[in-house]
Amino acid sequence: MSRKKPGGKAPAPAEDGGKSVDEYAQEYRLLAEEELPTSLGFSARLNLLWDLSGAAPPQTEGRTLSLLAINRAWKESDVRDWLQRDVLPPRLELRNMVHFLVNQLPDKQDVRRWEAFLIYGAPIVPSPVDQVMYREDETRRNIATMIFAQITDKYQIPAASYDADRVFQRCLSLMHKFNIYELKDFQPGHLEPFRNYLFPGDS
């Protein structure tokens, strides 16, 4: 019975016709990425969670400085990256932040689901934001107001032709379905479907 010499290279043919170890190794090298891809929309989703938690003021009213006061170990440049540039915090930092924020929300929320949602977003991870929570959030209501005004102005829809409260609630509902968390998420391509949904009799 022959034995492989110490330090010798073991052959890696696949006897069943599948890939050899060398082929797997080559495929691994070809598919490997040098750095993680950008988590598009992460900052918008993170700001949404901060909005819902009520633990810090809005972005336009000093949110960054407020976060630095909550955790003095954070650096301003890092916080701005997290809130504005879709840069993920280190994994443990993200877990601790999400745990803190979810603890501020009503009812019992799944920390791991929120963490996954922040990283990957919908539809990969279904949004943990229920419609009631979304509708009650002041920032989302302000965005709905601006969308509402933009549509009625663009399409010249007279105020007397619709029930404002009903249309406003429909706007919030559609924003939730389209995962619109910031005004910049509302794109020109959204105008037509929003108009048709909010004012079906005028389309």
More confident residue, 125 or 202: 125
Of 99, 128, 157, the residue that ends a domain is 128
pLDDT at site 123: 86
Residue 185 has pLDDT above 60, yes or no: yes
**Is there a single domain that holds both residue 120 and residue 141?**
no
The better pLDDT of the pair 4, 163 is held by 163
Judge whether residue 142 has pLDDT over 50.
yes
Q: Is residue 195 part of a domain?
A: yes
Residue numbers of the domain that contains 172: 136-202
Whether pTM exceeds 0.75: no
Given 96, 128, 160, which residue is the final one in a domain?
A: 128
What's the structural domain count of the chain? Answer: 2
Q: Which two structure tokens, joined as six digits, stand for 115?
A: 């963490």
53's CB contacts (< 8 A; 6+ apart) are 101, 102, 104, 105
